Amino acid sequence: MTNIKNIAIIAHVDHGKTTLVDKIMYHCQLFRENENTGDLILDNNDLERERGITITSKNVSVVYKDTKINIIDTPGHADFGGEVERVLNMADGVLLLVDAFEGPMPQTRFVLQKAIDLGLKPCVVVNKVDKENCTPDEVHEAVFDLMFELGAEEWQLDFPTVYGSAKNNWMSDDWKNETNNIEPLLDMVIEHIPSPKIEEGTTQMLITSLDYSSFTGRIAIGRLTRGELKVGQNISLVKRDGSIVKSKIKELHTFEGLGRKKVDEVIAGDICAIVGLEGFEIGDTVADWENPEGLKTIAIDEPTMSMLFTINDSPFFGKDGKYVTSRHIKERLDKELEKNLALRVSETNSADKFLVFGRGVLHLSVLIETMRREGYELQIGQPQVIIKEIDGVKCEPVEEMTIDLPEEVSGKAIEMVTIRKGERRNVCPALDTTNRCLPNSFDLGFWIERITIWAFPSHIRIT
């Protein structure tokens, strides 16, 4: 049996996850010498490439020293945090990337908390040590403090660390000692990430992710924790509510390199994709036909924001797109619901209007832009935050924001934040960083005024 390691790469947005996966793939020779595949290979859809961010998590696998390493590249933006949380269920350990200049950021905390709670082994990568004025040792210490604060157990606090620059293709045990490859990182994975624990018993696979193909329909993805899966096997699907639906496996795939390979059988511990299951949802368990036992199911994020999608009834009707009717829009939204898990759509009292709920402005804007490019024409309303009542108290979603800017212009930023009911959490003059916690309604107006802020002769970054 081949040895398997399942790892997820987690970090705050832009700390270099996808760049690192590129380098791992090159090192493990997924490409021919003369093949020029470019950068950020996994950020493969148009919007990901244009925005330079990862939107959906992706699975790839490489072979290093006779071990198959399944790697899950995750998105760093907070709107997609729920997706990271879900896919962590497929991993036995995480590579936590931290920028050697910025140190741990809000999303580092969020994803690390989830990994610790799931009992995953963390390995730390202090990345971007090529940046000027970076402080890798302090960052390492800050990561330790953060883990301690988040309630990590002793074996998790005893994490190994490598330092390096994913961009410049090197990793090392000591950041002052530059190497010429990323082997120290791969060796760390082999040595410290536990192999999947396989228990005795009948087939069990938690569906943690899904894919969609217009030929075969929805594809269930997860890690086989127990037993085996074979093509043609009859299985039971244990639904979230405990009910059982019988089904059959048409096709099985495991991850190989950048793609998937059709296989006849999957061994426990490996991550696989199943084609042909009827009516499954994320969080269902694929289990034995006769003695089905469900696994603990997983939560799906609730939406935090809504927008009204309407047909274009302005004088510019039909000028921009070719799909313009409410039937077109409804069909497209229904199709999106098949694969976009955090999305909800509700009909309104008008047949031309749909209320679309999502995880944030970025999440919804990605959908709108994708639809526009596909030739849909629609009007959208102002985004509205969703107010939820918890124990009789009205609550609204909050976001954390970090602003980096020189002290002399901080007054204006503080004023803008305060007007929008932002609450100041931390001001850190040494790093020129102002860190605030804001209600979600904040960022709607702020995106517009941000353009004004850009006019300052300084650097401002909103995360």
Ligand X SMILES: Nc1nc2c(ncn2[C@@H]2O[C@H](COP(=O)(O)OP(=O)(O)OP(=O)(O)O)[C@@H](O)[C@H]2O)c(=O)[nH]1
**Shortest spacing between CB 75 and ligand X, in angstroms:** 5
- Of 124-132, 297-305, 391-399, 421-429, the window that binds ligand X (rule: CB under 6 A) is 124-132
Note whether 328 binds Mg ion by CB under 5 A.
no
> Of 95, 98, 171, 159, whose CA–CA distance to 134 is shortest?
98
55 or 120, CB closer to Mg ion? 55
4, 7, 8, 11: which one binds ligand X (CB under 6 A): 11
Note whether 18 binds Mg ion by CB under 5 A.
yes
Two structure tokens written together for 220: 């269930």
Residues 109 and 112: their CA atoms lie apart, in Å, by: 5
- Of 16-24, 160-168, 211-219, 371-379, the window that binds Mg ion (rule: CB under 5 A) is 16-24
For residue 177, count other CB atoms closer than 10 A to its CB.
11
**Which residue's Cβ has the minimum distance to ligand X?**
76
**Shortest spacing between CB 284 and ligand X, in angstroms:** 28
Tell me which amino acid residue 153 is: E
Ramachandran quadrant class, 279 (left: phi over 0; alpha: psi -120 to 50; beta: rest): left
DSSP code per residue over 278-306:
-S--TT-EEEESSS--PPPP---PPP-EE
**Shortest spacing between CB 130 and ligand X, in angstroms:** 5
**φ, ψ for residue 91 (rounded to 5)?**
-105, 160
28 or 166, CB closer to ligand X? 166
Q: Residue 420: name its binding partner from Mg ion, ligand X, none (Cβ under 5 to 8 Å by kind).
A: none
Helix (H/G/I), strand (E/B), else coil: 392: coil
Note whether 107 binds Mg ion by CB under 5 A.
no
Note whether 236 binds Mg ion by CB under 5 A.
no
Note whether 17 binds Mg ion by CB under 5 A.
yes
14, 83, 85, 288: which one binds ligand X (CB under 6 A): 14
Note whether 17 binds ligand X by CB under 6 A.
yes
| Cβ(92)–Cβ(120) below 8 Å | yes
DSSP code per residue over 186-204:
HHHHHHHSPPPP-BSSS-E
Note whether 40 binds ligand X by CB under 6 A.
yes
Q: Residue 310: name its binding partner from ligand X, Mg ion, none (Cβ under 5 to 8 Å by kind).
A: none
**Shortest spacing between CB 229 and Mg ion, in angstroms:** 30
74 or 440, CB closer to ligand X? 74
Note whether 156 binds Mg ion by CB under 5 A.
no
83 or 270, CB closer to Mg ion? 83
> Of 399, 420, 416, whose CA–CA distance to 456 is shortest?
416
How far from chain centre, in Å, is Cα 26? 22
Q: Residue 146: name its binding partner from Mg ion, ligand X, none (Cβ under 5 to 8 Å by kind).
A: none
Based on DSSP, count helices (H) and strands (E) in the chain, helices before strands: 11, 27
> Of 221, 250, 223, whose CA–CA distance to 234 is shortest?
250
Residues within window 162-221 making contact with Mg ion, judged by CB under 5 A = none
Q: How far are the Cα atoms of 42, 137, 309 from residue 372, in angstroms, in the given order?
A: 23, 46, 12
Helix (H/G/I), strand (E/B), else coil: 18: helix
Count Cα atoms within 13 angstroms, Cβ side, for 1. 12
Residues within window 43-72 making contact with ligand X, judged by CB under 6 A = 52-54
Using CB under 6 A as the criterion, what x/- string covers residues 275-294 for binding ligand X? --------------------
Note whether 441 binds Mg ion by CB under 5 A.
no
Residues 218 and 277: their CA atoms lie apart, in Å, by: 8
Note whether 58 binds Mg ion by CB under 5 A.
no
15 or 253, CB closer to ligand X? 15
Using CB under 6 A as the criterion, what x/- string covers residues 71-110 for binding ligand X? ----xxx---------------------------------
**φ, ψ for residue 297 (rounded to 5)?**
-80, 170
75 or 227, CB closer to ligand X? 75
Q: Residue 443: name its binding partner from Mg ion, ligand X, none (Cβ under 5 to 8 Å by kind).
A: none
Secondary structure E strands in 16-130? 58-64, 67-73, 93-99, 121-127
Count Cα atoms within 13 angstroms, Cβ side, for 47. 16
19, 59, 304, 340: which one binds ligand X (CB under 6 A): 19
Using CB under 6 A as the criterion, what x/- string covers residues 135-174 for binding ligand X? ------------------------------xxx-------
Residues that bind Mg ion in the complex, under the rule CB under 5 A = 17-18, 54
Residues that bind ligand X in the complex, under the rule CB under 6 A = 11, 13-19, 40, 52-54, 75-77, 127-128, 130-131, 165-167
